[in-house]
Structure 1
Amino acid sequence: MKLGKDIQKILDKTYEPNTIIERVMGRYDLAFKTDEVGRPVLLFLGKADDKGRIQGERFARRLVTDAAGTITKDHWDNKGHV
């Protein structure tokens, strides 16, 4: 499974640092964790069960920054089914 353009738009934004944010996007439930800057770094994408846990796919973001803090590499890796 690949991330679509609409989901990627949500993940390109900056949010409150060190939090877990839950959203609904079309037919998918999203839950993502942000880093100390507020960038999403861990994503759960699928359908939430009655306890709120996402059943679907897990993605991890790979960010590489230079000494000035500029992002040089940025991509999402599919880590499999959860």
Structure 2
Amino acid sequence: MPLHPELDKKLSRLYEPRTSIDDVFKGYDITFVTNEHGEPVTLFFGKRRPDGLIAGERYTRTIKRQPDSPQVRASHWDNQGKTRR
């Protein structure tokens, strides 16, 4: 199942490198982790538990870059299944 277009747009932006960001999207809690370039690469989507972790789905992003460049050529998100993170 692909990500919602608005969520995909939000995750296409650059953020602080190597951080974990907590947010809310359309009533669901989300947490995403960025890589050294500030690109979101891991997404947790679901309901935040009292301990701050998310029970729901985990997604990982595959990024393909232009040769000899940090510029993104293509990327996609894969659902890794249920998580209690």
TM over 0.5: yes
The bucket for the TM-score relative to the shorter chain is over 0.9
Q: Which runs of 4+ in 1 moved over 4 A?
A: none
How many residues are aligned here? Answer: 82
Q: Over the residues paired in the alignment, what is the CA RMSD in angstroms?
A: 1.0
Measured after TM superposition, the shift of residue 34 of structure 1 is 0.3
- 1:24 paired with 2:24, answer yes
Q: Mind listing any 5+ residue stretches in structure 2 that lack a counterpart?
A: none
Q: Mind listing any 5+ residue stretches in structure 1 that lack a counterpart?
A: none
TM-score (norm 1): 0.93
Query: Matched residues in 2 for 1:46 and 1:23: separation?
Result: 11
**Residue deviations 1:10-44 (CA, integer Å, cap 9, x gap):** 10110000000000112110100000010000000
Give the fraction of aligned pairs with identical amino acids, expressed as a percent: 40
TM-score (norm 2): 0.90
Amino acid corresponding to residue 74 of structure 1 in structure 2: S
